[in-house]
A and B are shown apart, each in its own frame.
Chain A
Amino acid sequence: MSRDWPLWEIFVRSENGLAHKHVGSLHAADAQMALQNARDLYTRRNEGVSIWVVKSSDITATDPAESDAFFEPSEDKTYRHATFYRVPDGVKHL
């Protein structure tokens, strides 16, 4: 058996004005081949106008086991949301 080609994560922009979105992954020998394979695999039906490929091993991600602690600081700050504030009756455009 051969050695696996590296794994690439694929991001597709479906139309100008929208952000690239992760759609899946694939194997390819290099970035150019990853782009061509991504076109054939993820945009066979006009799903995209632009593709990014990133080597999976180059992505740094948060650790799910630590996510409670990691995201905790934003949990108890309800005053950061507009809905926290009561709007007095009759006040408009607020």
Chain B
Amino acid sequence: MYTSISDGIVEGRGDEREEAFNERLDRSIKVEPDDWMPEAYRKTLVRQISQHAHSEIVGMLPEGNWITRAPSLLRKLILLAKVQDEAGHGLYLYSAAETLGTSRDDMVEALLTGKAKYSSIFNYPTLTWADVGAIGWLVDGAAIINQIPLTRCSYGPYARAMVRICKEESFHQRQGFDVMWKLAHGTPEQHAMAQDALDRWWWPSVMMFGPPDSASPHNAQSMRWKIKLFTNDELRQKFIDQTVPQAEQLGLKIPDPDLRWNEETQHYEIGPIDWEEFYRVVKGDGPCNRERMQTRNDAWNDGAWVREAAAAYAEKHAAKERAV
């Protein structure tokens, strides 16, 4: 179905086609896989969607760390379901990216060789059970804020994948908040564990929305193309405004001495973000970058015989059917 890869800009017709493309975007007509699109739009989307997919896949690792040690059978079932969802999200997104003419193998290779990026948040370790709660509450909470606008983005397959993902993310966020709630209202030790998790996950979560608008040169083009509907800072503010009161309800303290409510703007204001740390982790020097890449590479290599066996089995049976 998604076989026709755009032939690029035919001489003399490029501007005309691009004008028609922009005009359709203005009328909020979605772009579908075989439609003509500017090469830069295609490339940007492949990068954005595949990075998003990689983030879902690598995102299974920090939480997977706690599946065998969840504190009850119910928590274990919930966590298994959540991690399975993350795998599903990765697959929806890889499929959406493939409609743009890239192959699954190329994307997997880009991840495994370190050529492609994934969300930096997953390069932080999950040291205690409370981290599982903090990830659901904060990381999935931030992801929802990022992703809900994308259900209206201009590229049809991406928008449709985001609809499915957002539905499932709200389960993720609530189960995380539920873990935090139980700990925050438990013994003093459990409460301290919840506070410690918030202390470690707060700033990386705030950074998840990416560099400040002043340092994001691609914002304008992506917004023109309607594959980004709000700026990084707008989304970040929304996250802060929605999360600070939740922390108060949990009885936990946001680790920011400068945090204050601005009556005039009706928004919370936070202290300075340590972008040095952000760029250090993006560049590969976070606490777990190497471990995550190693785990993904091992999983891929250890699974090679399964992929080969399944392909051989399918080929053998197809040959038998042809012979009948």
Contacts and interface: CB of A to CB of B under 8 A. Distances in A.
A4 B35 contact: no
Interface residues of A, number: 25
B85 A44 contact: yes
A33 B310 contact: yes
Given A30-B314, A64-B36, A2 B91 contact: no
Contact of A4 (B85, B99, B105): B105
B1 A5 contact: no
A50 interface: no
Contacts of A78: none
Nearest to A27: B104
A56 to B, nearest CB: 5
A41 interface: yes
A64 B308 contact: no
B31 to A, nearest CB: 10
B61 interface: no
Q: Is the interface of B mostly helix, strand, loop or mixed?
A: helix
B109 A7 contact: no
A26 B94 CA distance: 9
B95 interface: yes
Interface in A13-30: 24-27, 29-30
Given A29-B314, A30-B314, A64-B34, A5 B307 contact: yes
A3 interface: yes
Which of B81, B95, B103, B310 has most A Cβ within 10 Å?
B95
Contacts of B92: 24, 41
Contacts of B199: none
Contacts of A27: 104
A1 interface: yes
B318 interface: yes
A5 to B, nearest CB: 7
Contact of A61 (B34, B96, B98, B310): B34
B170 to A, nearest CB: 12
A7 B33 CA distance: 15
B137 to A, nearest CB: 21
A45 B171 CA distance: 12
Given A3-B311, A64-B35, A9 B1 contact: yes
Contacts of A44: 81, 84-85, 88
Contacts of B99: 25
Contacts of A45: 168
Interface in A66-86: none
A38 to B, nearest CB: 11
A65 B299 CA distance: 42
Interface string A27-48: 1011001000000110011000
A33 B310 CA distance: 9
A59 interface: yes
Instruction: Report the 10 A-B pairs with minimum CB-CB distance, sorted nearest first.
Output: A30-B314, A29-B314, A29-B310, A59-B1, A25-B95, A56-B1, A64-B35, A64-B34, A1-B105, A4-B105
25 contacts: A1-B105, A1-B108, A2-B105, A2-B307, A2-B308, A3-B311, A7-B98, A24-B95, A24-B161, A25-B98, A26-B91, A29-B310, A29-B311, A29-B314, A30-B310, A30-B313, A30-B314, A30-B318, A41-B92, A44-B81, A61-B34, A63-B34, A64-B35, A64-B36, A65-B36
